[in-house]
Structure 1
Amino acid sequence: MSAGHGAADVTADGAGHGHGHGHAVSVDADRKLLSGALALIVGFMIAEVIVGLAAGSLALVTDAAHMLTDAIAIALALLAIRLAAKPPRGGFTYGFKRVEILSAQANGITLLLLAVYFVYEAVNRLIHPPEVKGALVLITGLVGIVVNLLATWLISKANRSSLNVEGAFQHILNDLFAFIATALAGLVVLLTGFTRADAIAAFVVAVLMLKAGIGLVRESGRIFLEAAPTAIDPQALGAELCALDGVVEVHDLHVWQITSGEPAASAHVLVAEGLDCHQIRIRIEQVLAERHHLTHSTLQVDHASEGRVEEHCSDAHGEVHRSVTTVAPGPDPTSPAH
């Protein structure tokens, strides 16, 4: 008969207080940085739409539309930061932390949709090139480079470990590339009259948007599917825990991310008869925190009945990890005297 010791959810030092995820000062700084970038983007976007239509430039209109998505991306990021700061309540036991991941996924999807549209438009303009006013395109592109350099610099100083902030940053960074391509296209049109350069610039930017969009959708999708963080291999982690003295079996091992930079783990651990379950649990928590930065762990630790390890949990989720050798009852392996 197993000795149930319940579940534990504490930090490696055994304290039951919060895990220190995020700080108000950092959040306030991120809000100010994102707000400054938003003001720059919106102001220039309005001017670019006017100039783009006057110049007949697809590259400028492409940039303006991309800047609109930049503004929406930053606004979503700001909203997500505000919601994520709300404390858990009611049925939302993690609070609204994953709103940030929703924002990042929305940013990725808009990048993909816009990229597809601009590829289509660029191909049409390569086949039937319209008249493009190179001087207006060049001047606007150069001003856009300056504006986006400032916006990129502002957001780069925010917490980019957040997928939400990274999504907004990718939008702005791609827009910077877009303006560089636009300025080059304007220069080519101005010097050579080769109007297809405008469509080629739009095509190049669309490819960059596809790359960034795929990355954001992939990473946000992994979090929604509760996949393990890319830096952690659950199979290797299970084997590592089973190698600890006194651990006989680890099953129902789950590793996931609550939101960006907040990994969590849970597991059912069986230890040899006669050993102190609580001390072994503390040792496991130390390993998770110190080696894998998993400070949010929930562990159920029980004794394994001799000769009946395989029967303990017949419907375990995922792989069952077992120690190579079963540790016989003896002194507590975590005690100083060991």
Structure 2
Amino acid sequence: MRYPESDDHNHHDHEEHDHSHEGHDHTPTVNEGNVRRIRFVFVLTAGYALIQAIGGWLSGSLALIADSGHMVSDAAALLLALIAYRVAARTADSTRTYGFHRVRVLAALANGAALLILVSWIVWEAIERFREPTDVLAGPMLAVAVIGLVVNIVGFLVLRMGSQNDSNLRGAFLHVIGDLLGSAGAIAAAIGILLTGWTVLDPILSVLVALLVVRSAWGLVNESIQVLLQATPRGLDATAVVEDLRRLPGVAEVGHFHAWTLTDETRIATVHVVPMPGTDPLSLPPLIAERLKESHSIEHATVQVDAPGNLNRCT
């Protein structure tokens, strides 16, 4: 078997380097349905945030004020998500050859971080209310909270119909869930205060709502960080993938497998292989790329074919 002449790519010898898919197009796909959903919920959220802020100030309710702050944060997050979609839709250029996919991941990271900061502020304010209880007008608080619940249910239903594989939309969706919980907590606090007169219920329920939001927010932050660190895609076992490739006909050795997530729906991988004696090196890249796509949901694969004995010398 004759191998093509090697070159000095990455400062080591290799025999065949193929991207194994036509066009290698990384142009981002922007889901216009998601954009419309987020735009609608943004207008709804921003409008209600103003109403809730006024209602919280007039009634003296921390639960309403906290939820109002949450709504303002959500409106900003939704606006950021809309901007991220537009930026991500820009085509790749000579300095950003993968395009602007990661802008959506950065937006999701910012959304999660904003939620964590907001939760910290709510907990701090609640502690202050425990130390120095304040009067709460439960009637106006209840009326505003009920309106908020309706608004958030509408937002929840609209965003739920979108693609949950999109971390940008999922970040906005988590914000709306947090708002929905905040409105429910405010309603419960208002009813409790009306029935018992215990104004301490207001900060207690504020803290409970904040704690419910923490888990989702941290999950979003952690997932975004993993993507930016180019960690192995969630649910992908690199060792199992290598073992699977070794079982393919004509493959003698497999090594230097690396996989990462470009954006929410795109996985990329590189791998080195050594052909068995008598196997055409040019036949392996398409074979391996097809296996990675069909069995492991890796859309883009770069396959490098090495001569026997060269695999362990690659870095």
Name the TM tier (shorter chain). over 0.9
Give the superposition deviation at 1:201: 1.2
Between the aligned partners of 2:249 and 2:291, the Cα distance in structure 1 is: 12
Q: Which moved more, 1:57-66 or 1:268-277?
A: 268-277
Deviations 1:136-191 (A, max 9, x none): 11111111000001111111122221111111110011110110011000000111
- Tell me the percent identity: 33
What residue is the counterpart of 1:8 in the other structure?
A: 18
> Which of 241, 255, 260 does residue 259 from structure 2 map onto?
255
Q: Give the alignment of 1:64-75 within 5 angstroms.
A: 64-75=68-79
Structure 1 partner of 2:162:
158
The answer to whether the Cα contact below 8 Å between 2:26 and 2:98 also exists between their aligned partners in 1 is: no
Map 1:283-298 onto structure 2 (within 5 A). 283-298=287-302
Which residue matches 2:120?
Answer: 116
Alignment of 1:144-293 (within 5 A): 144-293=148-297
CA distance in 2, matches of 1:112, 1:217: 9
CA contact (8 A) 1:255 1:265 kept: yes
The structure 1 segments of at least 4 consecutive aligned residues displaced by more than 4 Å after TM superposition are 1-5
Structure 1 residue 75, shift from structure 2 partner: 0.5
In 1, the alpha carbon distance for the partners of 2:72 and 2:135 equals 25
Q: State the match for 1:324 in structure 2.
A: none
Q: TM-score, normalised by structure 1?
A: 0.86
RMSD: 1.7
Q: How far apart, CA to CA, are the structure 1 residues paired with 2:172 and 2:236?
A: 26
Cα gap change, 1:92/1:185 in structure 2, threshold over 3 Å: closer, same or farther?
same
Per-residue CA deviation, residues 191-246 of structure 1 (Å, 9 max, x unaligned), is 11010110011101111221121101110011011011112111111111112222
TM-superposed CA distance for 1:274, in Å, is 2.4
Return 5+ residue gaps in structure 1 as ranges.
317-338
Give the secondary structure class of the aligned counterpart of 1:94: coil
Name the structure 2 match of 1:88: 92
Structure 2: distance between partners of 1:126 and 1:247: 68
Equivalent pairs, count: 305
Cα 1:293–1:20 change in 2 (3 A) is farther
Q: Tell me, what secondary structure is at the counterpart of 1:103?
A: helix
1:20 CA drift (Å): 8.1
For residue 147 of structure 2, the aligned residue among 131, 143, 146 is 143
Q: Deviations over 1:254-298 (max 9, x none)?
A: 100001111111111111232111222221111101111112111
- Counterpart code for 2:258: H
Relative to structure 1, is the Cα distance of residues 299 and 17 closer, same or farther in structure 2, using a 3 angstrom cutoff? closer
**Deviation for aligned residue 1:7:** 1.9
CA distance in 1, matches of 2:185, 2:43: 23
Corresponding residue number in structure 1 for 2:137: 133
Q: Could you tell me how far 1:128 is from its partner in structure 2?
A: 2.2
- CA–CA distance in 1 between the matches of 2:262 and 2:237? 17
Distance in 1, Cα, partners of 2:252 & 2:230 = 27
Assess if the C-alpha contact under 8 Å between 2:273 and 2:311 holds in 1.
no
Question: TM-score w.r.t. structure 2 length?
Answer: 0.92
Match of 2:12 in 1: none
Paired position in structure 1 for 2:80: 76
